[in-house]
Amino acid sequence: MKKEIEASGYSEERVSSEYASAPVLNKGNELRIGKTFLFYLDGSKPRLIKNDSIVWAYQKTTTHRTNGIKTGTTYSILIYLADKKTRDISVNSEAVAKEVLQCMEQNIPRAVLGYSEELNRIYRREYDNFLKLRYNNPEYNTIDNTGFNTEYNY
């Protein structure tokens, strides 16, 4: 995680402070959403994502079947980043997934939240137009030229 912290441009102390103050949303992988970062465990590796790099997130529900019989359901949050990379973060339940998305709505106003076929089509075929929906839309852009989210500066 040290490389990710260095790449973020923030001090280790600031990142640690934010991690400590961010609420735990999913106990299994220590998913936390702070003012500047989203923290989670990928297996046993701690990871962080800068909130201002998230362009789209939605709940992914997977139904598992054996011989056609439903054997379980798993939930995750699928996150798309500005560099077109994705992160699939497992959560314990549908309720936790909804809570995570609500927290993202409060802390990451530039991200499009929720899934539709139309959003998927725009993302895949018209990426620049997708970014204009929120990410590059001044109405949702609360980042000032210092790199800090002005609504949540501390």
Amino acid in the structure at residue 112:
V
- Per-residue pLDDT band for 146 (boundaries 50, 70, 90) equals very low
pLDDT digits (tens, 9 = 90+) for 94-122: 999 999 999 999 999 999 999 999 999 99
**SS3 at position 10:** coil
- Domain residue ranges of the chain, discontinuous segments joined by +: 2-133
**Strand stretches in the chain, DSSP E:** 24-26, 31-33, 37-42, 45-50, 54-66, 69-81, 86-91, 112-113
pLDDT given for residue 141 in this prediction: 67
Domain 2-133 is found in CATH 2.30.29.30: yes
pLDDT given for residue 134 in this prediction: 87
Q: Does 19 have pLDDT greater than 80?
A: yes
Q: Which residues contact 89 (CB under 8 A, 6 or more apart)?
A: 26, 29, 31, 40, 76, 77, 79
pLDDT given for residue 142 in this prediction: 59
The whole-angstrom separation of Cα 37 and Cα 30 is 13
Q: Does 153 have pLDDT greater than 60?
A: no
Q: Which residues contact 30 (CB under 8 A, 6 or more apart)?
A: 24, 39, 40, 41, 46
Amino acid in the structure at residue 25:
L
pLDDT given for residue 14 in this prediction: 93
pLDDT digits (tens, 9 = 90+) for 34-91: 999 999 999 889 999 999 999 999 999 999 999 999 999 999 999 999 999 999 999 9
